[in-house]
């Protein structure tokens, strides 16, 4: 103090009397005339940001005997000398805990008195005592002096930052050591802030509250990052498990439900798949539900449910409270939901890559619930992952069906080739005739299979087969009949039958003369359990027809494609009717189901 006063041309004196006390007198000249030129500075171009003299007056008055009365005096002095200032108020709903560490008991009491209206305050006399207190009850913020016995403030900060469970506690250091080096040293060891003594009560409260809020924000960000990391890890592990070739489909669906519950923090959940045949959502996996919920929601179409709403809208549906939701109010489903302990629900559609909805995954909560954006985001990612799995599963099933169909058709094709070869090469034909017949029939078979390939193996319309096979004689052919779709096997056989009928007609029948004609027609009629296709071939204005003495290959082949065949060898021309059993018929599209093995039917 003496040196500071002398630097400004003043002096400092002290007078003490035993038993009475000490009096300190500091004298400093006013103005700047007594100061050297190198100690003067230019006038300010900006307003000063210094706290002014009020904090020091306030600080000094608070330390005078008298406690609260002197506090009132400090406030009165401030109002009389300095401009009015808005008092600082805390905004946190719940009080945070501040640990005050200082070896000066008066300072601990003073700081505690300042913070008590806004925070829960605990105190410690030095760093070691503080460390024990912190390990027992972690505070929300540490306010510590630097200079203390045993363990000082800097050592306390170092120790706290090395312990994982304590390292994120916000720390504000207090010190009378001014200068940049002192504050840098405090910040380098890990302190969040550094406050010089003396300080104003407003500044102290502002620093403490700001650091506590910043720490709370950091913890919130860290918790969000940790939560997101857990969610991403869960999705990655789920994807890896369900991507395995030997993954059990039912188990994968159950794991998707469990993951949805974990991501949303829900109590229950279920996964519904869309059944194309019935047009309903069917529960395929669930966790936490019992009767009557499972029976009531076993199949859902346009019922009052979040799943059905998500299915219709193709978007995520959020029901924060089923007791007030428009979806459930006044509906039987509301009572079922409440009895099942499901007061809130989030239903997310499982959308395929082509935009179709494959199903929904729903999470249920035992209390009203408003989901956070992150929760909805990860449920959306899970739904995308679930839809991808269902698409892969369906693609695998289709691939297996196609492989089985390919194997079946290959075996069937080889049997047909064998039968054609046997029928063409047997009998009294010459080698040249047999070769011509074999080549013609194989060409007909190739044409039939080529058309099936062009139709993606889904079958071919009967009228297209007729026109294709009768192309050379189309101007003398009349074609009549409804639209009928034949499956690959029957399309192949009828193509071969048409080839045989057309070949015979060209050699011996209506197509062997210029005036000859053929009428081809078909119809569909109910035959009890199945509908049946009746296929008719009628020749006219051709040469007289004579019934053969034995059944040739053409007749054998015709017998092979239908359960019933009728041939009439009239003098006006050949008539052939074939009845082919059909499955359930659509009004404008009829599919013919596969029958027995071709080789067994057409073998001689």
Transcribe 53-70 into DSSP letters.
SHHHHHHHHHHSTTTHHH
Indicate if 217 and 274 belong to the same structural domain.
no
What is the layout of strands, in order, in the sheet containing 141-145? 120-124, 97-101, 141-145, 171-175, 193-196
Domain termination residue (choose one: 378, 397, 416): 397
pLDDT band at 285 (very low <50, low <70, confident <90, very high): very high
Q: Is the pLDDT of residue 20 over 80?
A: yes
Among residues 448, 445, 482, 488, the alpha carbon closest in space to that of 465 is found at 448
CATH number of the domain bearing residue 589: 3.30.565.10
- Torsion-angle region of 179 (φ positive above 0: left; ψ -120 to 50: alpha; else: beta): left
Indicate if 183 and 297 belong to the same structural domain.
no
| pLDDT the model gives residue 81 | 38
Distance separating alpha carbons of residues 222 and 215, to the nearest angstrom: 10
| pLDDT the model gives residue 90 | 40
Q: Is the pLDDT of residue 126 over 70?
A: yes
Among residues 560, 557, 543, the alpha carbon closest in space to that of 506 is found at 543
pLDDT for 178-222, tens place per residue?
A: 666 777 888 888 899 988 887 888 888 889 989 988 888 888 888
- pTM for the model stands at 0.53
| pLDDT the model gives residue 438 | 77
Residue with tokens 């509908």: 531
What angle (nearest 5°) sits at the alpha carbon of residue 53, between those of residues 52 and 57? 145
Residue 418 falls inside a structural domain: no
| pLDDT the model gives residue 595 | 30
CATH number of the domain bearing residue 133: 3.40.50.2300
**Window from 2-16, 441-455, 526-540 with minimum mean pLDDT:** 441-455
Burial tier of 469 (Cβ tally within 10 Å: 0-12, 13-18, 19+): buried
Residue 414 falls inside a structural domain: no
Distance separating alpha carbons of residues 437 and 309, to the nearest angstrom: 64
Q: Is the pLDDT of residue 445 over 90?
A: no
Burial tier of 166 (Cβ tally within 10 Å: 0-12, 13-18, 19+): middle
Mean pLDDT of 144-170: 91
Mean pLDDT of 376-387: 93
| pLDDT the model gives residue 603 | 26
Indicate if 308 and 443 belong to the same structural domain.
no
Distance separating alpha carbons of residues 62 and 71, to the nearest angstrom: 5
- Give the DSSP letter of residue 518: E
Indicate if 464 and 360 belong to the same structural domain.
no
pLDDT band at 552 (very low <50, low <70, confident <90, very high): low
Residue 403 falls inside a structural domain: no
pLDDT for 322-371, tens place per residue?
A: 999 999 999 999 999 999 999 999 999 999 988 889 999 999 999 999 99
Residue 503 falls inside a structural domain: yes
Percent of the chain with pLDDT over 70: 76
Assign 81 to helix, strand or coil. helix
Residues forming a β-bridge with 12: 26
The full 3-state SS of 260-297, as one line of letters, equals: HHHHHCCCEEEEEEEECCCCEEEEEEEECCCCCHHHHC
Q: Is the pLDDT of residue 577 over 60?
A: yes
| pLDDT the model gives residue 73 | 46
Residue 17 falls inside a structural domain: yes
Pairing, β 97-101 against β 120-124: parallel
Distance separating alpha carbons of residues 511 and 539, to the nearest angstrom: 9
Mean pLDDT of 50-61: 54
Mean pLDDT of 417-423: 65
pLDDT band at 380 (very low <50, low <70, confident <90, very high): very high
Distance separating alpha carbons of residues 122 and 116, to the nearest angstrom: 10
Indicate if 78 and 101 belong to the same structural domain.
no
Contact 112, 141 (CB under 8 A): no
User: What does the block give as tokens for 378?
Assistant: 């990860």
Distance separating alpha carbons of residues 225 and 203, to the nearest angstrom: 33
Q: Is the pLDDT of residue 69 over 50?
A: no
| pLDDT the model gives residue 120 | 92
Q: Is the pLDDT of residue 63 over 70?
A: no
pLDDT for 462-507, tens place per residue?
A: 898 898 888 888 889 999 999 888 877 777 778 778 877 888 888 8
| E strand map for 86-201 | 97-101, 120-124, 141-145, 171-175, 193-196
The pLDDT mean for the chain works out to: 79
Among residues 103, 190, 105, 124, the alpha carbon closest in space to that of 155 is found at 190
Residue 411 falls inside a structural domain: no
Range of the domain at 26: 1-36
Which range scores top for mean pLDDT: 191-205, 286-300, 393-407? 286-300
Indicate if 502 and 523 belong to the same structural domain.
yes
Q: Is the pLDDT of residue 52 over 60?
A: no
For residue 84, give Cα distances in angstroms to 60, 202, 290, 310, 601.
20, 13, 68, 60, 110
| pLDDT the model gives residue 80 | 44
What is the layout of strands, in order, in the sheet containing 477-480? 477-480, 517-527, 530-540, 573-581, 564-570
pLDDT for 98-117, tens place per residue?
A: 999 999 998 899 999 889 88
CATH number of the domain bearing residue 333: 3.30.450.40
Contact 573, 541 (CB under 8 A): yes
* DSSP calls for 461-483: EHHHHHHHHTGGGGGGEEEE---
Pairing, β 193-196 against β 141-145: unpaired
Distance separating alpha carbons of residues 243 and 392, to the nearest angstrom: 9
Residue 233 falls inside a structural domain: no
pLDDT band at 591 (very low <50, low <70, confident <90, very high): very low
Indicate if 348 and 388 belong to the same structural domain.
yes
Element (H, E) at 87: none
Q: Is the pLDDT of residue 70 over 90?
A: no
Residue 262 falls inside a structural domain: yes
Cα-Cα-Cα-Cα torsion 122, 127, 132, 134, nearest 10 degrees, comes to 50
Indicate if 207 and 347 belong to the same structural domain.
no
Indicate if 266 and 205 belong to the same structural domain.
no
Q: How many Å separate Cα 374 from the centre of its chain?
A: 11
Residues forming a β-bridge with 195: 174
Number of domains in the chain: 5
Q: Between residues 601 and 293, which one has the greater pLDDT? A: 293
Assign 570 to helix, strand or coil. strand
Indicate if 376 and 312 belong to the same structural domain.
yes
Distance separating alpha carbons of residues 146 and 509, to the nearest angstrom: 119
> What is the CB-side half-sphere exposure of residue 520 using CA atoms within 13 A?
21
Indicate if 368 and 473 belong to the same structural domain.
no
| pLDDT the model gives residue 377 | 93
Indicate if 55 and 28 belong to the same structural domain.
no
pLDDT band at 418 (very low <50, low <70, confident <90, very high): low
């Amino acid at each position: 103090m003496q040196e500071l006063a002398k630097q400004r041309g003043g002096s400092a004196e002290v007078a003490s009397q035993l038993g009475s006390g000490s009096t300190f007198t500091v004298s400093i000249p006013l103005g700047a005339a007594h100061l050297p030129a190198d100690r003067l500075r230019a006038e300010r171009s900006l307003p000063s940001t210094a706290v002014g003299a009020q904090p020091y007056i306030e600080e000094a008055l608070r330390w005078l005997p008298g406690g609260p009365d002197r506090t009132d005096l400090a406030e009165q002095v401030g109002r009389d000398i300095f401009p009015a200032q808005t008092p600082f108020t805390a905004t946190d709903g719940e009080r945070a805990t501040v640990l005050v560490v200082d070896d000066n008991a008066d300072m601990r009491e003073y700081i505690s008195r300042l913070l008590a209206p806004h925070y829960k305050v605990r105190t410690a006399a030095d760093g070691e005592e503080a460390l024990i207190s912190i390990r027992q009850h972690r505070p929300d913020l540490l306010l510590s002096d630097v200079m203390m016995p045993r363990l000082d403030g800097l050592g306390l900060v170092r120790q706290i930052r090395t312990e994982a469970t304590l390292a994120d506690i916000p720390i504000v250091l207090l010190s009378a050591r001014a200068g940049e080096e002192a504050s840098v040293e405090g910040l380098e060891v890990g302190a969040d802030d550094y406050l010089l003594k003396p300080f104003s009560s407003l500044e102290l409260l502002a620093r403490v509250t700001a650091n506590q809020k910043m720490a709370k924000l950091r913890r919130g960000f860290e918790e969000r990052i940790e939560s997101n990391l857990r969610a991403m890890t869960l999705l990655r592990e789920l994807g890896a498990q369900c991507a395995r070739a030997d993954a059990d489909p039912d188990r994968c669906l159950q794991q998707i439900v469990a993951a949805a519950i974990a991501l949303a923090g829900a109590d229950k959940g279920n996964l519904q798949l869309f059944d194309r045949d019935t047009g309903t959502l069917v529960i395929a996996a669930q966790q936490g539900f019992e009767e009557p919920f499972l029976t009531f929601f076993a199949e859902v179409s346009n019922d009052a449910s979040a799943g059905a709403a998500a299915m219709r809208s193709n978007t995520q549906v959020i029901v924060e409270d089923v007791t007030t939701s428009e979806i459930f109010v006044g509906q039987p489903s509301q009572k079922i939901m409440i009895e099942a302990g499901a007061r809130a629900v989030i239903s997310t559609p499982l959308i395929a890559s082509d935009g179709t909805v494959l199903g929904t995954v729903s999470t249920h909560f035992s209390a009203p619930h408003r989901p956070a954006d992150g929760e909805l985001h990860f449920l959306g990612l899970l739904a995308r992952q679930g839809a991808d799995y269902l698409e892969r599963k369906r693609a695998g099933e289709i691939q297996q069906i196609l492989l089985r169909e390919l194997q079946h058709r290959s075996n069937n094709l080889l049997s047909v080739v064998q039968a054609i070869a046997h029928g063409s090469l047997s009998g009294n034909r010459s080698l040249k005739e047999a070769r011509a017949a074999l080549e013609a029939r194989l060409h007909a078979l190739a044409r039939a299979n080529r058309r099936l390939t062009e139709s993606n193996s889904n079958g071919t319309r009967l009228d297209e087969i007729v026109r294709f096979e009768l192309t050379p004689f189309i101007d003398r052919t009349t074609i009549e009949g409804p639209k009928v779709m034949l499956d690959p096997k029957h399309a192949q056989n009828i193509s071969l039958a048409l080839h045989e009928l057309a070949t015979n007609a060209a050699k011996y029948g209506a197509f062997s003369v210029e005036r000859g004609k053929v009428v081809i027609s078909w119809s569909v009629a109910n035959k009890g359990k199945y509908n049946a296709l009746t296929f008719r071939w009628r020749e006219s204005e051709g040469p007289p027809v004579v019934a053969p003495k034995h059944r040739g290959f053409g007749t054998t082949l015709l017998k092979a494609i239908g359960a019933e065949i009728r041939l009439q060898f009239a003098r006006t021309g050949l008539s052939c009717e074939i009845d082919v059993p059909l499955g359930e018929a659509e009004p404008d599209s009829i599919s013919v189901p596969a029958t027995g093995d071709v080789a067994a039917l057409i073998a001689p």
